[in-house]
Amino acid sequence: MMNSLHSLGIALVACASLIPSLALGQNSDHDGCSNETLKGDYAFRISGNILNSAGTPIINREGVAMTHFDGKGGLTQVDFVMANGLAQPGPADPVTEFHIDEWGTYTVNSDCTGSAVIHFPAPPHETYGAEIDLKFVLSQAGRTIHTIVTKLIPPYTTKPVPVPVSIHSDAEKLELVR
């Protein structure tokens, strides 16, 4: 009986010693992703809220975007976003009414996580346009992307001040069937 308990104790200690290495597994996970994994046009669905300082939603945001990733860390985008049920102003294509001239950069890590920054044109009476920082994960061999906004700086003329947000988006790679 004592030998059984001793053996069980050794087995438990051995298993417990594996837990830290299992927890670190994702940190050393190299799925083979790179900037090249994120290449082509992706159709996004955007949803979330701009919050006040107490964390209460004050502006509901819903939208769609078509983002082109160049496979080298650059992106361009068009979008159509509603805020509390109203279309947002901004430079737009006269035919589609989608906002234009949006651009940014992105980085894909080897474990298929990444980050991006999107810059928007300055609206009238502002010096700078909005800026959105994102974190994302890729799935389906880079065909799907899930994002969360980590920082939103609205358009500004002086010092930029981020606003609290809870905004996310999901996208699939566009594939035209011919």
The per-residue pLDDT for 27 is 52
Q: Could you tell me if residue 47 is inside a domain?
A: yes
Q: Could you tell me if residue 20 is inside a domain?
A: no
Identify the band that residue 22 occupies on the pLDDT scale cut at 50, 70 and 90: very low
CA angle 84, 118, 90 (to 5 degrees): 45
Q: Could you tell me if residue 105 is inside a domain?
A: yes
Q: What residues make up the domain containing 45? A: 35-173
Which CATH number fits the domain that encloses residue 70? 2.40.128
Domain count, the chain: 1
By the 8 A CB rule, do 173 and 41 touch? yes
State the residue for tokens 């988006």. Answer: 169
Find residue 22's DSSP bridge partners.
Answer: none
Q: Could you tell me if residue 148 is inside a domain?
A: yes
pLDDT in tens, 101-142: 999 999 999 999 999 999 999 988 889 999 999 999 999 999
Q: Could you tell me if residue 6 is inside a domain?
A: no
pTM value surpassing 0.85? no
CA distance 13 to 47: 46
